[in-house]
Structure 1
Amino acid sequence: MKKTILILLLFVAILSACEKDDFCTQNPVTSRLIIRFYDDTNRETPKRVQNLIINSEANSEPIDRYNNISTDSIVIPLNPNALETVYNFSKDGVINQFSITYDIQEEYVSRSCGYKIVYSNLEFSSPINTWFTGFTPTTTLNIDDQNTAHVQIFH
């Protein structure tokens, strides 16, 4: 009888130690910045950029290289460990710097996904415009939509 109770208790202990599988279905959890390039003369028309290289100011290695590729939109991450991210956009060897400042908040998503970073009060600036002729908007409240562009750059 004691053996049966001991085996039953051991079996219950093993079953209660198991966790259900939990998968994060929200990928990516932390939003990234979407930039779309437009023609400066006709600001409603998307314009592709040839030979674009994007470097983070914090890292000299290119994060994205669009050599021999033409693109009119890009998706780039922001640095969750700083309140500013600076990128250098190089087109045919001409570099344009683009700065993004923001506030950071952590938001709990779920047990499987953990926390995500919410970027708010974003401000954009370009201290030296070489091949950029402008951009809109200069500020935005937050990045929460991954279906539309957050910033439009004119060139």
Structure 2
Amino acid sequence: MLRIKIKMKSLYKVALGLSGIILLSLGCQRDDICSETTQTTSRLVLSFYDADNVNVLKAPPNMNVKATDNDSLLFETINQNNIAIPLKTDGNSTEYEFIINAEEEDDEPSVDINSDIVQFTYARSEEYISRACSYKVVYSNLNAVLTSEPNSNWIKNIVIEESNIEDETTTHISIYH
């Protein structure tokens, strides 16, 4: 009789454990995990072109990019003709400083350093993705204005290619220098 009681208690524990595991697995749904492939808020894609030959991509030499309201650099001494930068999700404008010839030699700043400030303005709307990923911001009515001194600009022209920022697969703005 004692043996039957022990087996019943063991069987009861096993059944309780299995029930708990089943309830936990049913409680966690696929929607509770935000996949890395899920597209969230897109960044602004910039392409840099030669101002003298507008069909040729041209990387700005040793470019630094930083937000004007922050001292930390977003990009440091890059030589790329395409970059993607984030826009503010809590405001309708973002301002970046684009600095070329920023490479320092022997702890001395380059004499050819040139800095332009561009202000990006836009409208924002939130789009629901899922319970795990929450919302993403979709930008529309994108505009870009060069706000630095006009005589020393290395940026010659800014062209809006796509005024709605919904993905990072196409160029949104072309910058000619």
TM-score with structure 1 length normalisation? 0.83
Identity of aligned residues (%): 30
1:150 match: 172
How far the C-alpha of 1:107 sits from its partner, in A, is: 0.9
- Structure 2 unpaired stretches of 5+: 1-8, 102-112
1:105 match: 125
Aligned residues: 151
> Can you list the C-alpha shifts for 1:25-62, whole angstroms capped at 9, x where unaligned?
43551100010000111111111111100010121111
2:23 match: 16
2:158 match: 135
Higher helix share: 2
User: Which of 79, 96, 101 is matched with 2:116 structurally?
Assistant: 96
Please tell me the residue identity of whatever aligns with 2:129: V
Change (3 A) 1:37 1:141: closer
RMSD: 2.4
2:4 match: none
Higher strand share: 1
Residues 1:115 and 2:138 are matched in the alignment:
no
- Structure 1 unpaired stretches of 5+: none
> Can you list the C-alpha shifts for 1:97-138, whole angstroms capped at 9, x where unaligned?
01111112111112232211111111111122410001102x
**What secondary structure sits across from 2:62 in the alignment?**
strand
Change (3 A) 1:96 1:49: same
The structure that has the greater radius of gyration is 2
**What secondary structure sits across from 1:152 in the alignment?**
strand
Asked whether the 8 Å contact 1:26–1:113 carries over to 2, the reply is no
Report the Cα distance in structure 2 between the residues aligned to 1:126 and 1:62, rounded to whole angstroms.
Answer: 19
TM-score with structure 2 length normalisation? 0.74
